[in-house]
């Protein structure tokens, strides 16, 4: 059987130690790696094996050092991979700096590419490489995008109800917001309206170690106002929370098991947090609590099917992703800023789906839009594991 590879390691023979360390690391992450010492055996034609390896690999990871940038052999490997880039229109060459002094000597053909800086932080840089490979691995091959999901008449009517409620209770039109929907992704259940309040109480998600409101927003808070319509009920609270100059919390739950929550961004109204930012920790919290709420609906509502979780962040253009936990300063390098005003992400949750895995993938879909190409998947997954157990990470 013809063997294919995820990554071809291009390096100078004088950089064997770091090249093998990288090859072993990528292999431990489940990637198929072409590394010369593993693939070229006694009697093999070296030139043929190298060019076959480049042709059979999706990516060429070139390790840039003072030796490799002067190596004719490495340059030929880069040229071969760059030709594939031109022909296919896809990314093939992944530059990685392994010596800090080489940054001013990067070959001209690679100067427009972002590089992974292994010389600065091995784990972080390898995370960048793994993510670049994994994202491309998951990219659909088809050029024609799948048809957009059709919005039902019921969903349209619900959206109109929500909009009317927001306008009636003082939502400010120019505010950034987070909107989360949890809806049946199949034949909806039929919930007697008299049972809706009890179901919300059963499915409310609290978080140990977090001082903010529950999810959904607690309907028994003194300033919370209940809203009742023909097909469901909801809650709105527009009072200012401590340390915030304005706040707005709203949700609505229907007899067909559709749930929508709409809230302001605390980052824009807290005195001790810069405006136009988005906290990674609070984003994780939103993702985890929506999944836990969906799972509780599946547990407590008869015939509740697979759930669809939709998350919309509005007002994101030029907004910066930040870390609030001071112990994680340096968790990512540089400024991560969204160029999109609306960021949407969606996940489906079957009754036996892994909450942690689903949450981690949903979170990665969002932070990618801020240009965070190299999140520490292990840290984010550990955080999601903690959150899905009902505790806020320390």
**Phi-psi region at 234: left, alpha or beta (left = phi > 0; alpha = psi -120 to 50):** beta
Query: pLDDT at position 140, please?
Result: 37
- pLDDT score of 118: 94
Contact predicate 197/213, CB 8 Å: no
pTM: 0.64
* Tokens describing residue 85: 């880039």
Closest CA to 66 of 15, 123, 10: 15
Residue 99, both tokens:
């010596």
The pLDDT value recorded for residue 145 is 43
CA distance 369 to 374: 12
Which segments in the chain show pLDDT lower than 50? 138-146
Q: What is the pLDDT of residue 283?
A: 94
pLDDT of residue 329: 52
Q: What is the pLDDT of residue 222?
A: 87
> If DSSP states are collapsed to H, E and C, what string results for the chain?
CCCCEEEEEECCHHHHHHHHHHHHHHHHCCCCEECHHHHCCCCCCHHHHHHHHHHCEEEEEEEECCCHHHCHHHHHHHHHHHHHHHHHCCCCEEEEECCHHHHHHCCHHHCCCCCEECCCCHHHHHHHHHHHHHHHHHCCCCCCCCCCCCCCHHHHHHHHHHHHHHHHCCCCCCCCEEEEEEEECCCCCCCCHHHHHHHHHHHCECCECCCCCCECCCCCCCCCEEEEECCEEEEEECCCCCCECCCCEEEEEECCCCEEEEEECHHHCECCCCCCEEEHHHHHHHHHHHHHHHHHHHHHCCCCCCEEEEEEEECCCCCEEECCCHHHCCCCCCCCECCCCEEEEEEEECCCCCHHHHHHHHHHHHHHHHCCCCCCHHHHHHHHHHHHCCECCC
Q: In the prediction, which pLDDT does 136 show?
A: 57
Report the Cα–Cα distance between both ends of the chain, in Å, rounded: 49
Instruction: Give the dihedral of Cα atoms 82, 84, 86, 89; nearest 10 deg.
Output: -120
CA 14, 15, 20, 23 dihedral sign is negative
From the options 3.30.930.10, 1.10.472.50, 3.40.50.300, 3.40.50.10140, give the CATH code of 5-138. Answer: 3.40.50.10140
What are the pLDDT digits (tens) for 8-23? 999 999 999 999 999 9
- What is the location of CATH 3.40.50.10140 in the chain? 5-138
pLDDT value at position 68?
94
93 and 41 Cβ atoms separated by less than 8 Å: no
* Contact (Cβ atoms closer than 8 angstroms) between residue 199 and residue 301: yes
Q: Which of 53, 62, 54 is nearest to 22 (CA)?
A: 62
Q: What does the pLDDT read at residue 253?
A: 97
pLDDT tens by residue, 133-163: 876 554 433 333 445 555 678 888 899 999 9
**Biggest CA pair distance of the chain:** 81
For residues 63 and 18, the answer to whether their CB atoms sit within 8 Å is yes
Task: State the residue for tokens 């990637």.
Answer: 31
User: Phi then psi for 66, rounded to 5 degrees?
Assistant: -65, -25
The encoded tokens of residue 138 equal 């998951």
């Amino acid at each position: 059987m013809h063997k294919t590879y995820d990554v071809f390691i291009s390096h100078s023979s004088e950089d064997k130690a770091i090249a093998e360390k990288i090859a072993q690391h990528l292999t431990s992450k489940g990637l198929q790696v072409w590394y010369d010492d593993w693939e070229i055996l006694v009697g093999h034609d070296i030139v043929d094996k190298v060019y076959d390896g480049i042709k059979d690999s999706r990516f060429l990871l070139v390790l840039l050092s003072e030796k490799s940038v002067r190596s004719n052999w490495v340059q030929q490997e880069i040229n071969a991979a760059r030709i594939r880039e031109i022909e296919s229109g896809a990314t093939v060459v992944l530059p990685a700096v392994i010596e800090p002094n080489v940054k001013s000597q990067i070959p001209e053909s690679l100067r427009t590419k972002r590089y992974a800086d292994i010389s600065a932080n091995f784990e972080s840089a390898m995370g960048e490489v793994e993510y670049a490979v994994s994202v491309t691995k998951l990219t659909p091959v088809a050029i024609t995008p799948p048809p957009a999901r059709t919005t039902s008449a019921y969903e349209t009517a619900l959206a109109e109800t929500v909009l009317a409620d927001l306008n009636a209770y003082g939502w400010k039109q120019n505010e950034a917001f987070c909107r989360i929907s949890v809806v049946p992704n199949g034949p909806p259940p039929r919930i007697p309206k008299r049972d809706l309040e009890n179901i919300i109480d059963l499915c409310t998600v609290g978080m140990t170690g977090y001082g903010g409101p529950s999810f959904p927003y607690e309907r028994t808070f003194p300033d919370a106002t209940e809203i009742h319509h023909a097909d469901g009920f909801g809650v709105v609270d527009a009072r200012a929370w401590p340390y915030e100059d304005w706040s707005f919390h709203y949700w609505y739950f229907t007899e067909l098991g559709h749930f929508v929550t709409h809230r302001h961004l605390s980052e824009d109204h807290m005195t001790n947090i810069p405006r136009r930012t988005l906290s990674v920790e609070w984003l994780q919290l939103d993702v985890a609590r929506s999944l836990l709420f969906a799972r509780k609906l599946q547990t407590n509502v008869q015939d509740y099917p697979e759930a669809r979780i939709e998350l919309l962040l509005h007002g994101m253009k030029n907004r910066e992703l930040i870390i609030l936990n001071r112990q994680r300063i340096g968790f990512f390098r540089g400024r991560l800023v969204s160029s999109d005003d609306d960021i949407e992400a969606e996940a489906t949750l079957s009754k036996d789906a892994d909450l942690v895995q689903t949450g981690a993938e949903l979170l990665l879909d969002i932070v990618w839009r801020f240009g965070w190409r190299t999140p520490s998947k292990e840290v984010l997954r550990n955080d999601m594991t903690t959150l899905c157990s009902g505790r806020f990470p320390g």
